């Protein structure tokens, strides 16, 4: 009997998908929405098994690291983890796990709206609340509701929305109520006084489906490419040059973040999302430019954008333009 | 009796300095080293009180937010909080607190080397350890020690060094020992099996002394300027233009980080440290350039660099060069 | 009796204006149209002499150099010389004279449409013409007329339109007719077979009124600024940096040309026209940037554009934006 | 008898090389030095004819245009024409001929030092000279000699050195003597009072050997590539972007000049020389970038530099770096 291939080890009767647990969170919701993206990936190289699409077994993990290590070891076919939150920022452990260790790639993304609840110790009434704890961005996104419904209350900022709930639970908080995610009430055994109190729907969390490296899915015209660039030295203009590698080929960036490399203060790598797909010429040439000029570039996948917005291709930067330029150059070199 | 001046409200017989507690941590160590920087600041506008320098009362706070709110309210003269860690990255709550809310500025910085200990349940022997949990950057910085002293052990990555210790304490860890800061053993009531196990001294945490806004200290020639830039729109080239505002005036950046503005995924502001002092012409002109082209720019202070490295001033970008260019322009405009 | 002021030495009863002769050319036409621009300049500092505007005496000169030296020596108040021709290119002697020697400035500009005639030896008929000589750009601009009216003829290119006429006159030409300026027929004693044969009116010559340095005329909102930049060394990126000094402040260039500095092949200075007036903040700051980073910058005047097209001022680059940024910076530096 | 092949029409028993006449000038000297470069070109595809290298017949032409048209028509195998002069600037007719009409390429270049003579009417003595006419750059390069040998004389500037001689010959000059090329004395039937009067040897003229298009000679490591770029519109940043196409790939420019396109004032193309050979990856990619973003790009040849200075290849821009980046990209695209 042959040894299981690395890429299909997790397949078999029912492929497994890890996610950051516990069960019942928004991550599970994201994992369910991303699971179908895993199946076609698994199907490649297999016989199509009749008309049934394979069901995916979800497996909660205690940490992002545990989930991604299951992918690395081949025990699961993929993992769904949060990468960015428009309220509290990027998820450093996800960025760092993708930037270091055995290579992984992003195969798909999904966004989930962030909802806010007002939670407090059981028995608390809205009228009794004079201080509300929450993260500053959450405060900004519930300002109208608080002004209308808690006119007597003042808001104090906490490190995170979870910290606001935890402080009430462990008795260290000076605030009477916390604005948190809907799940925090259960977690801290507090009472939900109001839910859906966000002023608008702009807040959201972005989740990614992470797999072992393989050929990216075909371009859709609405794709995103993720990578990490380790800049050569501390020479001042290098970030500028890195950005120009994209700008000159008409490739827009949708996210750029510095992360410490662990080699000391002032030593960063840049975690980048750009518009377009590695199969497209302008993205490919920009990546080659980075590869030539950076210490290291780690490709983290090309995948469809969750928002489905198609990339606007600037004049002169389409695949046809690149092909035409290559023919032109070849004919000049040959003296045709 | 006159109303207390905003800047001296916290002074009195003994100015107070908040810090992120609890007592006995590296932050207290940083606070003690930065306290003297607070005193001269307070002294401005006061009579020199004989030959005694004012002693500073240190006040531990439960969160960065609590510490900074004490500064905002005038209850303390300043606060010392961590801003960046070469192992686990920037401290988001500090960046966000400085970027939003009532303005604050950085008056000084200090760095403290990061030391690592190996901790475990009491009674654990080195020989018995087969799995060690820690953050990836900490793992990288103790690799040699682990290879020499725990040759039989495998390292698993955790979200933070604290999480590695907490997992052992609460019994959820699969690892037998954790690599953490020296203080974690006490905190989690675990035993320190070895200390000072870092392979070299490059890992460090940067702390800042934060005060209410006021005139920055005079330039020393080895200064840093911090700011937050809110970029106008999602127009692709704007980060590039922002960087060019610095590059064109020969101002190097030592740190740049994107942070969510809270207005939705893909909406960022940039937290930036550059070399030089706002009193210097090249830094001033770059800041004016940002002010003209960004939605908003928040100045976060000019202060001496902890490492004392003097800024290299490129040809044509010194204060004398700017003054000379202004005279030249004035004479052309006047037709002299 | 007081010594004559430098700027009014040439004035007296009737200010004199030199121009590149001979009389009866397009330069004289340009000189007549620019003469009124000289008078107000002379009038500054003088008593307005009733309701009469001073008449200007025109003085033809044999060369651009002779005309400009008369300005330098104070014998005339100004000179009108050609600087650029959309058919045959810039006028090197004018660029070089402005770039070197005693400083001069451009006070005004005017453009004159270029017209073409077909000239030949007396007695030549259109039907007999098999070869027509002219400069390639003139050929391009009379292509339709030639195709319709000289279907049997082939066009050969000459170094200039004048050379095409001269060749017929001195018998060295292989062509039967020449396409030249209308004046060439007289000059070479040839016959005009057809005139106004240009296909459209886009061809024109630009003339400048040159004076001794003095305060530029006030901004009109539709101005141009001319200068020469001597780049510091042969360091590759310097032209790019020079262009960025303009681009970053939203200042567009309308002309840029390299000219040899006379210090050897590969040593150039750049003759530049940009949109805007030196009195405007964005132009002033760009010029100061060049002054700081170039070996030398020679200001050649700010003056109204001949085409009257108003400068589009990009967001953030208006004078008000600069003033506002200066106040902001001042208040940060003072700690207000 | 077979029809002559386009490329070998000029070959036969003795290939012909046109040059800008008359005989006995520096151009002939340049043509003789460049003739051997023509022979190997002709030899390609021919049988090596024993140990004799083919002799080349030189053919003087009255104008640059005539010389280049002989190349275009196949009557000669190549032409040697001046392209740039460190004293009087570029040779517009050569730039314009190469930029328009049937395509031609530069196959080689040579530089000839410029020497200056002092010429005057027969019988003139040095002591009698009070005014000397010459071009400003020639004046700058003979300043020391004039100061030592004509202490009583003043220098007046003329449009060209030839104009200074012509003025004496035709009696219109106000100057007594002219500083010109050594050949002008004969041409204007004047007397040479002194020769070799240049202060140093930096002044030179650059000549190019022009042929019909064909495969460029192999790279030597000390090559130059010439081209003309027609920029898309009058959009302000386009020249900047054009320069960045070179800068980003580490390709230095050694010459850039704007020339009118003939489509009206303010419409330019850019005549450019860059370091490197079209066969090199960084040059090829930069050219493709221009081809994609410009209205038109005309390749004018890759050929060895006359000065033999080898191109410094920046880290990350060598052919090996490009090949390595291509393999890397291919493996990412394939998911290897």
The per-residue pLDDT for range C192-212, each reduced to its tens digit, is 999 999 987 678 899 999 999
Please provide the average confidence, as pLDDT, over all residues in chain A: 86
CB nearest to A202's CB, from B92, B160, B263: B263
Q: pLDDT digits over D319-331, tens only? A: 999 999 999 999 9
pLDDT of A189: 92
By the 10 Å C-beta count (0-12 exposed, 13-18 middle, 19+ buried), D6 is classed as exposed
Asked if the domains D17-31+56-114+203-214 and D216-323 are classified in one and the same CATH topology, the answer is: no
> Which band of pLDDT confidence, cut at 50, 70 and 90, is reported for residue A144?
confident
Which residues numbered 306-325 in D keep a CB inside 8 Å of some CB on A?
315-317, 321-322, 324-325
- The CATH H-level (homologous superfamily) assignment of domain B17-31+56-114+203-214 is Periplasmic binding protein-like II (3.40.190.10)
Q: Give the minimum alpha-carbon distance from D271 to chain C in angstroms, rounded to a whole number.
A: 10
Element of type H or E holding A224: strand A223-230
Whether the pLDDT of residue A246 is over 70: the answer is yes
Confidence of residue A47 (pLDDT cuts 50, 70, 90): very low
DSSP assignment letter at C220: -
- Interface test with chain D among A293, A295, A298, A336, by most D beta carbons within 10 Å: A293
Q: Which residue has the higher pLDDT, A97 or C9?
A: A97
pLDDT tens track for B82-92: 999 887 788 88
List the structure tokens of B84. 């960046």
Structure confidence at residue C228 (pLDDT): 97
Chain A from 97 to 116: CB within 8 A of any B CB: 97, 100-101, 111
Would you say residue C63 has pLDDT above 50?
A: yes
Task: Give the domain ranges of chain C.
Answer: 17-31+56-114+203-214, 117-195, 216-323
Give the tokens for residue C317: 């680059």
| CB nearest B293 (choices: C244, C292, C316) | C316
Span C65-101, pLDDT tens digits:
889 999 999 999 999 999 998 877 888 889 989 998 8
Burial C322-334 (b: 16+ CB within 10 A, else e): beebeebbeebbe
Which candidate from C288, C324, C335 shows the least CB-CB separation from B213?
C335
DSSP element (H, E) containing B334: helix B319-334
Nearest to C240 among D135, D244, D263 (CB): D244
Enter the pTM of the model: 0.86
What whole-number distance in Å separates Cα of residue C254 and Cα of residue C277? 13
Classified by CATH at the fold level, domain A117-195 comes out as D-Maltodextrin-Binding Protein; domain 2 (3.40.190)
Q: How confident is the model at residue A268 (pLDDT cuts 50, 70, 90)?
A: confident
CA A294 to chain centre: 24
- Report the C-alpha gap between C118 and C136 in whole angstroms: 15
Query: Are C204 and D264 in contact (CB < 8 Å)?
Result: yes
**Minimal C-alpha gap between B188 and chain A (Å):** 17
Average pLDDT, chain C: 86
Q: If DSSP codes are grouped into helix, strand and coil, which group holds residue A43?
A: helix
pLDDT digits (tens, 9 = 90+) for D185-202: 888 899 999 999 998 767
* pLDDT for res D48: 42
Return the pLDDT at B40: 59
Cα dist from D142 to A52, B55, B175, D134, whole Å: 91, 75, 84, 10
CA distance A132 to A176: 6
Helices C281-293, C319-334: inter-axial angle, 10-degree rounding: 70
pLDDT at D51: 45
Strand, helix or coil at D304? strand
CB D191 within 8 A of CB D121: yes
CA C135 from chain center: how many Å?
A: 20
In the block, tokens 């080239």 appear at B237
pLDDT band at A1 (very low <50, low <70, confident <90, very high): very low
Tell whether the model's pLDDT for residue A121 goes beyond 90.
Answer: yes
Share of chain C above pLDDT 90, in %: 56
Helices (H), chain A: 26-43, 64-73, 92-99, 136-141, 143-149, 161-169, 184-188, 238-248, 281-293, 319-334
pLDDT at C73: 95
Report ipTM for this prediction.
0.85
Give the residue carrying structure tokens 């077994």.
Answer: A57
pLDDT, mean of residues A288-308:
96
Which percentage of chain A shows pLDDT scores above 70?
A: 90
The CA-atom distances, in angstroms, between A272 and each of A68, A239, B90, C76, C298 are: 20, 12, 17, 64, 44
Sort residue C171 into left (φ over 0), alpha (ψ -120 to 50) or beta: left
Give the separation between CA A157 and CA A139, rounded to whole angstroms. 8
HEC-encoded secondary structure of B68-84: HHHHHHCCCCEEEEEEE
pLDDT at A201: 64
Chain A CA closest to residue D277: A333
Exposed e or buried b per residue across B130-149, where buried means at least 16 C-beta atoms within 10 angstroms of its C-beta: eebbbbbbbbbbbeebbeee
B303 backbone φψ class: left, alpha, beta (φ>0; ψ -120 to 50): beta
Identify which of C24, A74, A40, A282 has the alpha carbon closest to the alpha carbon of residue D292.
A282
Bridge partners for D205 per DSSP: D85, D112
Does the CB of D304 have a partner CB in chain A at under 8 Å?
A: no
**Tens-binned pLDDT, residue by residue, of chain B (336 aa):** 333 334 444 445 578 999 987 777 778 889 999 999 986 555 444 444 444 455 899 999 878 888 999 999 999 999 999 999 887 788 888 998 999 889 999 999 999 988 899 999 999 999 999 999 988 778 878 988 998 999 999 888 777 788 889 889 988 888 999 999 888 888 889 999 999 999 876 788 999 999 999 999 999 999 999 999 998 765 667 889 999 999 999 999 988 888 888 777 777 899 999 999 999 999 999 999 999 999 999 999 999 999 999 999 999 999 999 999 999 999 999 987
B164 touches chain A (CB under 8 A): no
pLDDT at D206 over 50: yes
Mutation test of the interface with chain A: which of D237, D333, D334, choosing the one with the most A Cβ atoms within 10 A?
D333
Q: What is the pLDDT of residues C22-60, one digit of tens each?
A: 777 778 889 999 999 986 555 444 444 444 455 899 999
Per the CB < 8 A criterion, the answer to whether D253 and D311 are in contact is: no
Structurally, at CATH architecture level, domain B216-323 sits in 2-Layer Sandwich (3.30)
* Strand-pair category, B131-134 with B177-180: parallel
pLDDT band for A40, please (50, 70, 90 cuts): low
Is residue D297 a contact partner of residue D228, using CB atoms and an 8 Å limit?
yes
Among B237-241, B316-320, D119-123, D310-314, the minimum mean pLDDT is found in: B237-241
pLDDT at B65: 84
Give the residue-averaged pLDDT of C264-287: 92
pLDDT tens sequence across C209-261: 999 999 999 999 999 999 999 987 656 578 899 999 999 999 999 888 888 88
Confidence band for D8, pLDDT divided at 50, 70 and 90 = very low
The most confident of the ranges A175-189, B268-282, C258-272, D5-19 is B268-282
Q: What is the pLDDT of residue B11?
A: 43
Contact yes or no for C132/C147 (Cβ under 8 A) = no
Do β-strands B253-260 and B268-275 pair in parallel, antiparallel, or remain unpaired?
antiparallel
* C325:B244 CB<8 A: no
Residue of C nearest to D62 (CA): C172
């Amino acid at each position: 009997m042959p040894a299981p291939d690395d890429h299909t080890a997790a397949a078999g009767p029912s492929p497994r998908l890890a996610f950051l647990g516990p069960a019942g969170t928004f991550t599970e919701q994201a994992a369910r929405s991303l699971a179908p993206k895993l199946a076609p990936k698994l199907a490649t190289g297999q016989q199509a098994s009749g008309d049934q699409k394979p069901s995916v077994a979800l497996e909660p993990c205690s940490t992002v690291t545990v989930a991604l290590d299951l992918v690395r070891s081949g025990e699961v076919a993929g993992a769904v983890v949060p990468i960015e939150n428009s309220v509290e920022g990027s998820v450093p452990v996800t960025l760092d796990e993708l930037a270091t260790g055995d290579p992984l790639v992003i195969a798909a993304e999904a966004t989930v709206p962030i909802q806010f609840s007002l939670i407090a110790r059981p028995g608390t009434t809205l009228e009794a609340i004079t201080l509300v704890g929450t993260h500053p961005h959450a405060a900004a996104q519930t300002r109208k509701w608080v002004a209308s419904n808690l006119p007597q209350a003042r808001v104090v900022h906490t490190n995170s929305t979870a910290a606001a709930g935890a402080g009430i639970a462990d008795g260290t908080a000076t605030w009477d109520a916390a604005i948190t995610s809907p799940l925090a009430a259960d977690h801290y055994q507090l009472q939900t006084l109001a839910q859906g109190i966000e002023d608008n729907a702009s807040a959201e969390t972005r989740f990614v489906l992470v797999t072992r490296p393989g050929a990216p899915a075909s371009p859709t015209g609405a794709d995103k490419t993720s990578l990490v660039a380790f800049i050569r030295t501390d020479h001042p203009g290098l970030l500028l040059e890195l950005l120009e590698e994209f700008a000159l080929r008409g490739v827009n960036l949708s996210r750029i973040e510095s992360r410490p490399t662990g080699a000391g203060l002032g030593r960063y790598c840049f975690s980048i999302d750009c518009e377009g797909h590695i199969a497209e010429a302008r993205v490919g040439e920009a990546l080659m430019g980075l590869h030539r000029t950076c210490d290291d570039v780690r490709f983290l996948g090309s995948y469809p954008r969750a928002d489905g917005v198609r990339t606007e291709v600037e004049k002169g930067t389409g695949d046809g333009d690149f092909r035409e330029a290559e023919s032109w150059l070849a004919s000049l070199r040959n003296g045709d």
